[in-house]
Amino acid sequence: MVEKLLVQPALHKLGDTLLPAVAAAANSKVVAAGQGAPSFPDPLFNREYELLACAKKFVVLALGFAASTYGKQLQDEQEVLGHVADAVMQTYALESALLRTSKMVAAKSEQKCSAAIDIARIFASDAADRVLYSGKQIIAALSAAGDTVLLQEAASQLSLYPAFNTVAARRRIADVLMKAGRYPF
């Protein structure tokens, strides 16, 4: 429903000439993102920022593939757009969580923010799974129309995210909350 109300009118305005430009820009961004060693703003979250970079790369590539596959008809592909929107939202929320937690750690200390760090890492782990799920659905839908090897490779990078013990982290968070008697953030 949201896609039909918001995304569809925006795509309709893109026109025939802009969609190929979007696809080309997406592909060039992905190629540029793959060059050079990545630098992350906070060493505390190196793994999570690496995951974020993979998610951004996948989202840009998925949107580019969808635009080049469907062209102007992309506005009618609600299921694909829904999965792309889900991946975009998870990626945005992940970046926001990492930036907010980094800011909190800088203002206080790593020790005082241990629960917030755990929350951000749990969210990163869960977001990777949600983006990967949407990615599989996007790849399945686009595979009928052509080669999706590059898109599959980008999605597979999300599955390489090292496992984080979310069970232990959730228990540590629960302990902090029980001890404080309230939500301390």
Task: Evaluate whether 87 touches 62 at the Cβ level (below 8 Å).
Answer: yes
Whether residue 185 lies inside any domain: the answer is no
Whether residue 37 lies inside any domain: the answer is yes
Whether residue 168 lies inside any domain: the answer is yes
Residue 67: per-residue pLDDT: 94
- The domain containing residue 153 runs over which residues? 2-180
Whether residue 174 lies inside any domain: the answer is yes
Whether residue 39 lies inside any domain: the answer is yes
Reported as a pLDDT band with limits 50, 70 and 90, residue 41 is confident
Task: Evaluate whether 58 touches 132 at the Cβ level (below 8 Å).
Answer: no
Whether residue 95 lies inside any domain: the answer is yes
Question: How much is the mean pLDDT over the chain?
Answer: 85
How far apart CA 87 and CA 58 sit, in angstroms, is 9
pLDDT tens digit sequence for 70-128: 999 999 999 999 999 999 999 999 999 999 999 999 999 999 999 999 999 999 999 99
Reported as a pLDDT band with limits 50, 70 and 90, residue 38 is low
Percent of the chain with pLDDT over 90: 68
Whether residue 114 lies inside any domain: the answer is yes
Whether residue 60 lies inside any domain: the answer is yes
Tokens 């951000």, located at residue: 120
How far apart CA 50 and CA 144 sit, in angstroms, is 30
> End-to-end distance of the chain based on CA atoms, in angstroms?
33
Residue 95: per-residue pLDDT: 97
Torsion angle defined by CA atoms of residues 84, 89, 91 and 95, in that order, rounded to the nearest 10 degrees: 160
Name which residue leads in pLDDT, 14 or 118.
118
Has residue 52 got a pLDDT over 80?
yes
Percent of the chain with pLDDT over 70: 78
**Total domains in the fold of the chain:** 1
Residue 37: per-residue pLDDT: 47
CATH code of the domain covering residue 125: 1.20.140.10
